[in-house]
Structure formats: structure tokens, C-alpha cells
Amino acid sequence: DVCSSDLVFCVNEPASVNYSSNLPELTLNWGDGNTAPVNPSSGQNVHRYTRPGKFILNLSGDNYFMQDTLTVIDKPRARFTVQLSSDLKCIFNNVSRQGETYSWDFGDESPNEFSYFVSHTYKDTGRYPVRLATINTNGCSDTFLQYVNVQQLSEPVISSNVITPNGDGMNDDVGVNISGETYYEFTIVDATGKIVFRSNDKNQRWGGKNQFTGAECMAETYYYSIAYRFKQNESPKTKMGIITLIRSKN
């Protein structure tokens, strides 16, 4: 006799068939091109189907033949993307397929959540393993794990709108305060639109000189733009303003 433990299986999950017979030499054909000799002493045979569909299971040998139909269901696909907003808050975008129920583990020992779309605020910065599990209506499941780097995000702010580069240690230069960015560019132009400073390093500051010639810039109004983004695949944002350069008269 042959008896499947369940007539419905999930893709890539073990499909088991229990077998008992006094016939010593039988072959089990799983219906997907895979065959296996049957050892009566084991009592069980296991196979994993790699695609969904209906498969005819045949057990044959020594004038013995038995047949059954097995249904293999495709598994759901658990996936998500994440967007980090301000105040350590992450917004999770569920892009799973064919799931019915969902369970989110945010990796910080907080309780699981069971909604389709979720957001979560962490108590501290760090790298957290976020796990999404989904189950479809047939009981097939899938799990997706992604590490999320949680950082403080802060919009760019220039240190001063006025600089007086006279070496007294007060407003001698101007820089940008920003954190959590994935792209950054600070550009300063004069009244004619000529670039006098440009940098992708937020630690680099402008001290009133032409970055390209080394000459001291004239005392006048300059215009800055800060291009930045916090997410790799988003378009950069731009912040603009003015900086007044004042030089002491001798």
C-alpha cells in the first residue's frame, strides 16, 4: 500500500509518501521526471517539487502498480523595501507576492506586527535584522530577512549666513550640518554664476577663497545650493540660500 501524508504540497517543501508492502523491489515515480527505488524497510520516501502543478505518482514493480495524484502549490514570495525617515522611524514597503497573512519581526525584541504595510520607530541607531514571514491560503510560507541600518536623519543647515575670514575664530568659514545622507553636494557661486566652491564632503568648509585658483573672493553676496538625498534610489532634494562675505578694512 502507498499513502501520501497529504495530497497538497508546497514548492520546495518535502512531500512525503508512506509505503508498506511485502514486495521487495519497487520504483517510485514522482511524476516530474524523478524516480527512486523504494526500500520497504524505510517506510517513507521524501521528495521536493521545484515547480507547481498536478503530478501523477506511480509505484510499480513485479506486476504491481499503484497511482495517485498530487497537487503542488506555488509558495508566496516575501519581500520588502525600507525607507528611513526622521526620528529613527522606518517605513516598510511590502512587495510580497501571493501572501495571505504577514508577520514582521523588527529585530529589536519589540512585539511582532501583522499588517501588510507597517512602520516602526527604533529606540536607538544600529543595524537590525528585520524578518518578514508570509503564508498563503494553502499554508505555504516564505521568509525574507534584510538588515536595516537605522540612523538619525537631519535636513542640511549651514553653519552661518555670514562669514568674516579674518582669523579670529568667529565665522571664519561656513559648513553644512547634515546626517544620514546617502548623497551630498555643497556648491557656492558668485553674483555672475561662477562656481567658487564645490564639495561632496560634508566635513569640508568654505573659508572665502576660490577653491580652484586659491585667490581670496571679493566681499559680496554669494549663493549656495545643497543637493542631498537620504535614500539611494530617490531624486536629490535641493536647498538654496545666500552667504554674505565680509572682509575687514585695513
Tens-digit pLDDT string for the chain (250 aa): 444 445 788 898 888 776 665 656 778 889 998 988 776 555 567 889 999 999 988 888 777 778 888 889 998 999 999 987 667 889 999 999 999 999 999 999 999 999 999 999 999 889 999 999 999 988 899 999 999 988 777 889 999 999 999 999 899 999 999 988 889 999 999 999 999 999 999 999 999 999 999 999 999 999 999 999 987 778 999 999 999 999 986 5
3-state secondary structure of 120: strand
- pTM reported for the whole predicted model: 0.57
CB of 237 closer than 8 Å to CB of 230: no
Please identify which residue in the block is written with the cell numbers 564645490: 198
